[in-house]
Amino acid sequence: MKIPFELAQSIVDRAMRILGKNVNIMDDAAQVIGSGDPSRIGEYHYAAAVAIAENRTVEVDKDNMEELRCKHTGINVPVALGPDIVGVVGITGEPDEVRGYGELLKEFVELMLQQTLLTEESQLKREACAHFVADLISENQEEESILAVRAALLGFRFGIPRVAVVISLHRGSGKGYPFIGELGTGREELETQKLRNNIMELVRTNFATCEQDMLTFSSGDHVVVLKSIVDGPGDENWASQLRESCAKLQERLSPIVGGITIGIGRPVASPSGIRASYAEAFSACHAGKRLWGPGRIYFVDDLGVAELIREIPAATRRRFVERIIGRLLENDT
259 and 221 Cβ atoms separated by less than 8 Å: no
The alpha carbon of residue 219 and the mean position of all alpha carbons in its chain are separated, in whole angstroms, by 17
Is residue 193 pLDDT above 90, yes or no? no
Share of the chain above pLDDT 70, in %: 83
Is residue 65 pLDDT above 80, yes or no? yes
What's the rounded Cα separation, in Å, for the pair 155 and 144? 16
Is residue 4 pLDDT above 90, yes or no? no
Comparison of pLDDT for 205 and 170, the residue scoring more:
205
Q: What is the mean pLDDT of residues 192-215?
A: 87
Is residue 226 pLDDT above 50, yes or no? yes
List C-alpha distances in Å: 22 to 35, 94, 99, 154, 254. Answer: 7, 12, 14, 44, 48
Is residue 271 pLDDT above 60, yes or no? yes
Per residue in 86-104, pLDDT (tens digit) is 999 999 999 999 998 988 8
The single-letter DSSP state of residue 2 is P
Q: What is the mean pLDDT of residues 43-67?
A: 95
Q: Would you tell me how many other CB atoms lie within 10 Å of the CB of residue 196? A: 15
Q: How high is the pLDDT of residue 188?
A: 64
Listed in sequence order, the residues at least 6 apart from 81 whose beta carbon sits closer than 8 Å to its beta carbon are 1, 110, 113, 114, 117
Q: How high is the pLDDT of residue 264?
A: 95
Beta bridge partners of 228: 162
Edge to edge, the sheet with strand 23-27 lists 32-35, 23-27, 84-92, 74-81, 58-60
Per residue in 308-317, pLDDT (tens digit) is 555 556 666 6
What's the rounded Cα separation, in Å, for the pair 196 and 201? 9
Q: How high is the pLDDT of residue 61?
A: 95
Per residue in 273-304, pLDDT (tens digit) is 999 999 999 989 988 888 888 899 999 987 76
pLDDT band at 185 (very low <50, low <70, confident <90, very high): low
163 and 276 Cβ atoms separated by less than 8 Å: no
Q: What is the mean pLDDT of residues 188-199?
A: 76
Per residue in 116-172, pLDDT (tens digit) is 877 777 888 888 888 998 888 888 878 888 888 888 888 888 888 999 999 998 865
What's the rounded Cα separation, in Å, for the pair 161 and 230? 8
205 and 247 Cβ atoms separated by less than 8 Å: no
Per residue in 227-266, pLDDT (tens digit) is 998 765 555 688 889 999 999 999 988 888 888 999 999 9
Whether the full predicted model's pTM is greater than 0.85, yes or no, is no
